[in-house]
Amino acid sequence: MKNILFISMFSILFCIDSLAQSTLNYSKAIIFKSGDNYTVPSGFVLKIESINSISPNSTHKYSSCIVNCASPSCGVQCFYRDTVVFQLGSFNYSINSPQVNYTTGGACSLCKTSNTIAVTIPSLNFPIWLPAGEKVIVSAKGVYISALLFEIK
């Protein structure tokens, strides 16, 4: 009875294991840069190898301002929209809205229409695997994401 049970369990596990097996065939290397918006195609997986940067920066568009008082000698706080630096699947690396303070002037007209700031790339554990349908988006200038695309067979 034990032998029959053992053989049955082994057969079931072998069948399940053999159904789950796939092979990954290398397709191509990809380097993503500013402005790229890529979706992993059906039947493929993407292996993110690294994120590198050369003087990375991000431009934020003007959002609003606060005038501290009506006098020209009062300060102004200019606020800019949050910007996504890059996206890997469901992981978004964003920079919070930068704020620029002017100590005098008292008017929102001092605020620039956009503000460019330096970006610090976070330390991540590589590789990062992205399945079909996930996105890679790079918004910041000077950010480069190296990846390998594999076909699932």
pLDDT tens-place string over residues 105-127: 778 888 888 888 888 888 899 99
Question: Of 17 and 51, which is predicted with more confidence?
Answer: 51
Question: Of 78 and 132, which is predicted with more confidence?
Answer: 132
- Indicate whether 18 belongs to any domain: no
Q: Whole-structure pTM over 0.85, yes or no?
A: no
- Indicate whether 20 belongs to any domain: no
The amino acid at 30: I
Nearest to 56 by CA among 24, 30, 83, 89: 83
The stretch 13-27 carries a mean pLDDT of: 70
- Indicate whether 5 belongs to any domain: no
Give me the residues paired with residue 4 across strands. none
Q: Is the pLDDT of residue 69 over 70?
A: yes
Distance, CA of 113 to CA of 99 (rounded, Å): 13
Q: Which two tokens stand for residue 129?
A: 């695997």
Q: Is the pLDDT of residue 10 over 70?
A: no
Phi, psi of 12 (to 5 degrees): -65, -45
Domain enclosing residue 51, as ranges? 25-152
Q: Which two tokens stand for residue 5?
A: 């049970």
- Indicate whether 3 belongs to any domain: no
Q: Is the pLDDT of residue 16 over 70?
A: no
The total domain count for the chain is: 1
